[in-house]
Structure 1
Amino acid sequence: MTKEEQYTATAKEILAEVGGTANISNVVHCMTRLRFNLKDESIPNDKKVANIKGVIGVNRAGGQYQVIIGQTVANVYDALTAAGGLAKNAAVDEDLDPELVKEKEPFSWKKLGSTILNKIAGSLTPLIPVLIAASMFKMFAAILGPTMLNVFAASSDTYKLLELVGNAGFYFFPIFIGYTASKQFKTNPVVSMFLGAILLDPNLVNIVKAGKAFSVYGIPMTLVDYGSTVVPILLAVWIMSYVEPFFKKIIPSALSTIFVPTLTIAVMLPLTLTILGPAGSFFGKYISDGILAFGKMGGIWAILGVALIGALWEILVMTGMHLIMIATMITIFAQAGHENFVDLGAIAASFAVAGMCLGAALRLKDKDEKALAWGYLLAGLIGGVTEPGLYGIAIRYKRPFIGMMIGGFLGGLYAGLTHVTAYVLVPVANFLALTGYVGGSTMNLVNGILSGVIAFVGAAVATYLIGVTKKDTAVDAADFKLVEA
């Protein structure tokens, strides 16, 4: 079946399920959705419509019956209007749909966790092209650089170029997310990006690195490195979504161009740098401190601590607080020449991300989504870049996050139980990370490798069994929200 034939088949099934031409008052499409005004909204069966091939999900909002298609919506719309003899209308912009902008779901503690993940996923999903491109450059740097094929020396311009391009894709996350989060929270995109850029200003970075005391309007600032972080800017843009409308409301329109962005940033500076930014890392810091305490207790607690690192490492990466544990690991290496706690869990976690990608690739039905999952798997195992899998699979679909944590926990638990020790601090997170276990006994190396295999297989199996989504299909990326049928 050709693509055009599939579009026609999908369109005809949708047309039949919504009650046919006679039940349609009007139909338009936006970037990802067919939007129907139906005479009788009780006719469509949401589950049946959602299960049509080519349909991602359905939604009822603003007096419209919305069928979510994704990037091929224009093709399906053309086939639909042709099949039903309906008049064509120009595409609409979701962001300018007043009914949908005003509509907010009532707050629910029950849905709080899901809502938070949806906002994170909605802000990260549009960044997948950046994740893929940056990962490819980092992967080429890993393969062609001194750690593998040694085609390029660490001092060569080509290697440095590959590294800097790959690093830039992740380091500037606060700016990228400033834009995508603005779509979620309906703030000014450019001002939101500006807020993210402030977190990465070289002067602020130098203050943090030097450990110098700094205050904002006389309020002491907690020193945090915001490079590659996700949560702090999300919190900042969320609060900004209340601050910005306030100034828009009270400032005369003639002065709004100057004073709304200026006053918004002026208010957001102390909120972001002294409260929201540190709060974004607060949770991660306490996880880090708690796990490190397990290591100091020794015995069964240390074993459990390694397992927890394997399970929770990627959460720490999101908050930027994994740096605390890395600093501890480096200190122990420098003093003792080996380490048997943090590194074990971190390596297990990286293999768990790759395993999760494998489980997702095997479970997903959509060819494009499968291809992405396979790409993330290669990026993790060969390139040592786990962010694409973390943000492109775990956060995006939610369910695989559980599989990833299970795999990381199991791999870390095995490493702890068998008293594996890392003798080499390997600066990569790909399969070569296992060479860090070289230097001790043969069984130490074998058990170290087995811990990685257990994490990989455990995450793959858990992800496959748990499933990726209810339909194991795509996410409505362009619409910036997760859709579950």
Structure 2
Amino acid sequence: MVNNKKKEQYLKIAKMILAAVGDRSNITSVTHCMTRLRFNLKDESLPIDSEVQNIPGVIGVNRAGGQYQVIIGQTVDKVYDALTTVGNLTQNTPIDENLDDNLNKKLTWKSIGNSVLNKLAGCLTPLIPMLIAASMFKMFAAILGPSMLNLVGTSSDLYKLFVLVGDAGFYFFPIVLGYTAAKQFNTSPIVSMFLGGILIDPNLIKIVTAGKAFAVFGIPMNLVNYSSTVIPIILSIWVMSYIEHFFKNHITESLGTILVPTLTIIVMLPIALCVLGPAGAFLGNYICEGILAFGKLGGLPTILAIGVVAAIWEILVITGMHLLMITTMMMVFAQAGHENFVTLGAVAASLSVAGMCLGAALRLKDKDQKTLAWSYLIASIIGGVTEPALYGLAIRYKRPFIGMMIGGFLGGLYAGVTQITAYVMVPVANFLALTAYVGGNTANIINGIISGIVAFIAAAVATYIIGVEPKPQETTTSEIKLVEA
């Protein structure tokens, strides 16, 4: 009976959201992340934000990256399933639309930037589960190995197993990204993965390692090792989508099965290996070296910069701009194996969200609101889901946002002063984010943990002192309760 009641709630929420965004006819595609329904709408002016926010079960709304985002919380997958059912929508597959409409849209720097962010998000977000697993195995090797507990030696099979599994998650980026990029650029996933496999083929690696000149159809190839790279394969799949589309339109179906993939790869070989690959690798290395160099500058500028990143990180999350920073972090970790700037701020910011929840929970007098604040704290510190707290407390009451930024800034400052380094990429926002500092010396992980504690406590204290507004801005307590059901 309980499950049926919940299903009825999800269906009711889905029907109301569907009507609010303009029904099925206005939806180009819809997907979801951990907390949000993400709509691509034909007419973004149809939804009225205040009305959508007042739907029971909706925490808030956001417009970012060309998407209309409805924040649901941890039950978003249930609402998404109900939405695709009542709306007769295809899950995770864009609905065909008139492409001529896109041609008539005015190009602006904002629209171009939004498009780039959307594509990066689509390519990289699906990799997070793999990165979490790979990072955990790298952490196991660091903790159990000689650098910390020294329970297993570097020659033991267990240590070697942990290392190879952890490295594999980053080494095979071109193949995995080939698949996710193909989904974003509407091209063949298998052929895209094949192109990614070509970039890290052992024979190509041998050619690069040997340092001897090599040509692709007579065109000199720059000797680049593409293992653990991000940008080269994404650029290549983007171009490949047009080439494959061209061949599909000009080759009959009877011959297309053989000729389309073959001709596509033939054309892409010089483009990927001689042009886009080296250019993407250069751009990636330039970004990585710049970030690492900035982190190594030391002194007051770097310390303050880390603090600023920590203070504004959750603003970047709300606007979707954090995806650019995450992309940079992925490249740095994949190519350098460590990072000492962006991650420090991101981890401190994540812990400051939990601290804000604690401060708000202790300060709030309304019993229902206090209960929600405690639930946001648990969702953040354990589940790694910060958006309910951001929209349910920070944006809704406004004052807690200041406390959260203060906590993040102070935690970031401590990380900068102690010059800690992140050795493991842990793309989660819960307490496990502190394991990013495992891999260096003992002082590194101790100071890393302290920076998180500083961010947590400072945000809690600041939020408690600053206080919380007595009344919410839009949604009511009864409406948000459905999210927790």
Query: How high is the TM-score relative to the length of structure 1?
Result: 0.60
Residue 14 of structure 2 contacts residue 82 of structure 2 at CA under 8 Å; is this kept in 1? no
For 1:430, the equivalent position in structure 2 comes to: 437
Question: Is residue 123–residue 180 contact of structure 2 (8 Å, CA) maintained in 1?
Answer: yes
- Sequence identity (%): 43
Residues 352-384 of structure 1, C-alpha deviations (whole Å, 9 max, x = no match): 443244245567959767645389xxxxxxxxx
1:139-288 equivalent positions in 2, closer than 5 A:
139-287=139-287
Tell me how far 1:186 sits from its aligned partner: 0.6
Secondary structure of the residue that 1:126 maps to in structure 2?
A: helix
Relative distance call for 1:253 and 1:68 in structure 2 (3 A) is farther
In structure 1, the gaps of 5 or more residues are 60-64, 82-88, 327-342, 376-401, 438-447, 466-470, 472-485
Cα distance in structure 1, aligned partners of 2:457 and 2:230: 25
The aligned residue for residue 477 of structure 1 is: none
- Specify whether residues 248 and 108 from structure 1 end up closer, same or farther in structure 2 by C-alpha distance, changes over 3 A only: same
Instruction: Summarize the alignment of residues 108-127 of structure 1 with structure 2, pairs less than 5 Å apart.
Output: 108-127=108-127
In the alignment, structure 1 residue 373 sits paired with structure 2 residue 379: no
Higher mean alpha-carbon deviation, 137-146 vs 249-258, is at: 137-146
Q: Is the 8 A contact 1:350 1:430 kept in 2?
A: no
Q: CA deviation at 1:146?
A: 2.5
The residue that corresponds to 2:95 in the other structure is 97
2:79 counterpart of 1:48: no
* Gap change, CA 1:208 and 1:48, over 3 Å in 2: farther
Whether the 8 Å contact between 2:411 and 2:454 is mirrored in structure 1 is: no
Q: Which residue of 2 aligns with 1:354?
A: 347
Output the aligned Cα RMSD. Answer: 5.3
How many pairs does the alignment contain? 382
> What is the CA distance between 1:292 and its match in structure 2?
8.9
Contact 1:8 1:76 in 2 (8 A): no
Q: TM-score, normalised by structure 2?
A: 0.60
Show the counterpart of 1:128: 128
CA distance in 2, matches of 1:24, 1:14: 11
Give 1:157 deviation, angstroms.
1.1
Per-residue deviation, 1:12: 3.5
Q: Residue 373 of structure 2 aligns with which residue?
A: none
Name the CA distance, whole Å, in 2 between partners of 1:412 and 1:132. Answer: 22
Long gaps (5+) in structure 2 = 310-323, 358-375, 387-404, 425-434, 464-473, 475-485
Distance 1:415 1:222, change over 3 A: farther
After superposition, the Cα gap between the structure-2 partners of 1:175 and 1:309, relative to the gap in structure 1 and judged at 3 Å, is: farther
Would you say the 8 A contact 2:200–2:226 is kept in 1? yes
Aligned equivalent of 1:379: none
Deviation at 1:223, TM superposition (A): 2.5
Return the alpha-carbon distance in structure 2 between the equivalents of residues 460 and 117 of structure 1. 33
Name the CA shift for 1:114/1:359 in 2 (closer, same or farther; >3 Å). farther
1:27 to partner: Cα distance: 11
CA 16–322 in structure 1, closer or farther in 2 if over 3 Å, else same: closer
Say whether the 8 Å CA contact 2:216–2:270 is kept in structure 1.
yes
Contact 1:357–1:460 (Cα < 8 Å) also in 2: no
Q: What letter is aligned with 2:120? A: I
- 1:5-54 Cα shifts (integer Å, max 9, x gaps): 4554454456457769xx9799999765799x9xx999852443256425
- Match of 1:84? none
Displacement after TM superposition at 1:187 (Å): 0.8
Q: Would the alpha carbon gap of residues 8 and 57 (structure 1) be closer, same or farther in structure 2, given more than 3 Å must change?
A: farther
Question: Separation in 2 of the partners of 1:185 and 1:371?
Answer: 35
* Aligned counterparts of 1:460 and 1:112: Cα–Cα separation in 2: 40
Cα pair distance change 1:109/1:26, threshold 3 Å: closer
The answer to whether the 8 Å contact 2:178/2:193 transfers is yes
Give CA-to-partner distance per residue, 1:123-178, whole Å, 9 cap, x none: 12122221222223222222222322233221111221122112212211111111
310-319 vs 229-238, which moves further: 310-319
AA aligned opposite 1:237: I
Displacement after TM superposition at 1:180 (Å)? 1.0
Q: Check the 8 A contact 2:171/2:228 in 1, yes or no.
A: yes
Counterpart residue identity of residue 92, structure 1: T
